[in-house]
Amino acid sequence: MGSNTAADTPHPSNATDFQFPDDLISEEVQQALPPAHLVRPLHIDDHEKGFLPLLGQLSSVGNVTKEMFRERFHWLQQRNDTHYTLVIEDVDKGKVVGAGSLLLDHKFLHENGIAAHIEDIVVDEETRGKSLGKWIIKALVHIADERKAYKVILNCAQDKIGFYEKCGFKPKSTMMASYRT
């Protein structure tokens, strides 16, 4: 039984199998991608298109079954006014080759401002160096702009600073972490 009911869905697009409405996808990014590459919201069937092994190139995924994937997908879909996960698919291969997420933090600060957080950026190792990473960031920043975020922030390892600088970001502050498990 799906956990996604009409009563608790913030957007009508939740009736579809995409995680968020695809009108938030940047047309400029789509036009810039190599042939047969599609930038789109995460889809309920992306478990079958290599989404999790791709994420595994970023960090540990563990054993996420199809059922667990769908459970998390629906959780995200029900929050599609604050959570956005997009992918780039190589349509010829039917394979997800890039992914990234954006989270919106609704604050009191800055007159009820919205801060956007970029998370979980990854490009398949066979496809790196072809600007897909840059286009993923651009597509996420486009969503942040559409949602009127006043800033976009992210954490990254030292050896990724150059990549994010190429995407228009500047180092600021220091990340702190307290891992609980």
| CA distance linking residue 10 with residue 19, whole number of Å | 12
**Rounded to whole angstroms, what are the CA distances from 33 to 38, 98, 131, 157?**
7, 12, 8, 26
Q: Which stretch binds ligand COA (CB under 6 A): 2-10, 23-31, 145-153, 155-163?
A: 155-163
- The DSSP letter of residue 94 is T
Q: How many residues does the chain have?
A: 181
- The DSSP letter of residue 34 is P
User: For residues 8 and 159, which CB has a smaller minimum distance to ligand COA in the complex?
Assistant: 159
Is residue 121 at the binding interface for ligand COA, with CB under 6 A as the rule? yes
Is residue 130 at the binding interface for ligand COA, with CB under 6 A as the rule? yes
Q: Which stretch binds ligand COA (CB under 6 A): 2-10, 83-91, 127-135, 144-152?
A: 127-135
The least distance separating ligand COA from the CB of residue 130, rounded to whole angstroms, comes to 6
The least distance separating ligand COA from the CB of residue 111, rounded to whole angstroms, comes to 30
User: For residues 104 and 121, which CB has a smaller minimum distance to ligand COA in the complex?
Assistant: 121
DSSP 34-59: PTTEEEEE-BTTGGGGTHHHHHTTTS
β 151-153/114-123 pair status: parallel
**Rounded to whole angstroms, what are the CA distances from 28 to 5, 13, 72, 168?**
33, 22, 29, 17
Is residue 61 at the binding interface for ligand COA, with CB under 6 A as the rule? no
From candidates 29, 97, 132, 144, binder to ligand COA by CB under 6 A: 132
Is residue 133 at the binding interface for ligand COA, with CB under 6 A as the rule? yes
Are 4 and 76 a contacting pair, CB within 8 Å? Answer: no
Is residue 117 at the binding interface for ligand COA, with CB under 6 A as the rule? no
**Binding-site ranges for ligand COA (CB under 6 A):** 57-58, 121-123, 128-134, 156, 159-160, 162-163, 166
